[in-house]
Structure formats: structure tokens, C-alpha cells
Amino acid sequence: MAPQLPGHDHPEVTEVKRYLDGREKRFACTLVRREPGHVVLRYVSDRTLQVSGLELPLGMVTHGHYWQDRPYNLYHWMRPDGTTLAYYLNVCDRVHWDEAEVAWRDLVVDVLLLPDGSARVLDREELPEGLAPEVLAYVDAAEGQILAARDQLRHEAEQDPGRPQPG
């Protein structure tokens, strides 16, 4: 079982998403699990969203998986009843956390994995001009790793013991 903070069943944690241009966004989340090299946070959407033609409903539950040794994070998007909508992976680096925050740098490219097994690579056209060649190589390698492991990643998210159970 993952360590939790003393006296708290599900402590609040802030997700800090940093962009290449230095901007950042912060999201209030709940800690689901913390173990060496891996943290899982829960976020419940307070509005309807659209991503690549997929409608994400109000009340959608996201389990965000963050690893210190992977070039991506994984958002498992679920309906309020626990059934899977999709898996969304952000190519990222500089992942770190402490008791209060999980922070990471967004490297623009995302991969949307749908329950039917299909995958969509998103936002490559948004990579900034003049991106350092080593960063571009890192992004390309991460994208390839995600696509090669997509079945395993879906399975891993589905096996998460902290996820809401459908039905």
C-alpha cells in the first residue's frame, strides 16, 4: 500500500503544469497513492471539455499518473460511474514532487488513446520554432515509446487499485 500523510486519508496536492515559455497552471487534486517513483492524483472536472473531438463531461474523474523515470504522464479519464473515456498522455520532463505538489514540464506533444485501441498524436504543430535538437529528439523518442507501449499503458491504468469501479 502506498504511504499516505499521517492523519489524512486523502490529502490535497497541487498539480503544477509548467510550459516551455515559463507559464504555469495549478490544479487542486487529491492524493490517491504515492510510492517510490510514482504518484497518482485524482481530479474531478467542474466543467464540460472537448479534446480532439471527444466530449469530457462535467464530473469526469481523472487519475493522473506521474513517474520520475518515464518521459510522459498519463491521465486516465473516466465517467463519474468509473467507465473509461480515454487515456491522455503528455510528453513531459522535470517531474518531481513533495508532500504538497506534483510538478512537471509540458513538452507540447500529447497522445490520446481511445478504448477501441486507436491512438491520436496531438499538437506536434505547436512545437515552438527553434526548439533545441536534444529536446526535439526527447519528444520524438517519448512519442515512439508511448505508441509502442499503448496496450500496456491502457492495461496499467485499468489495473490501478485507486480507480473508481464501474457499475
Cα–Cα distance measured from residue 7 to residue 3, given in angstroms and rounded to the nearest whole number: 12
Say if residue 73's pLDDT is above 70.
Answer: yes
Say if residue 21's pLDDT is above 70.
Answer: yes
Mean confidence (pLDDT) of the chain: 92
Are 51 and 75 in contact by the 8 Å Cβ rule? The answer is: no
In this prediction, residue 7 carries a pLDDT of 39
Q: Does residue 66 or residue 6 have the better pLDDT? A: 66
Q: How many CB atoms lie within 10 A of CB 5?
A: 14
What is the maximum alpha-carbon separation in the chain?
49
In this prediction, residue 3 carries a pLDDT of 37
Say if residue 9's pLDDT is above 50.
Answer: yes
In this prediction, residue 162 carries a pLDDT of 77
Say if residue 2's pLDDT is above 80.
Answer: no
Classify each residue of 52-77 as buried b or exposed e, where b means 16 or more C-beta atoms within 10 Å of its C-beta.
Answer: eeeebeeebbbbbbbeeebbbbbbbb
Tell me the fold of 12-158.
FomD barrel-like fold (2.40.380)
As a whole number, mean pLDDT of residues 79-106 equals 96
Cα–Cα distance measured from residue 62 to residue 99, given in angstroms and rounded to the nearest whole number: 20
**pTM for this model (two decimals):** 0.91
With a pLDDT cut of 70, the percent of the chain lying above it is 93
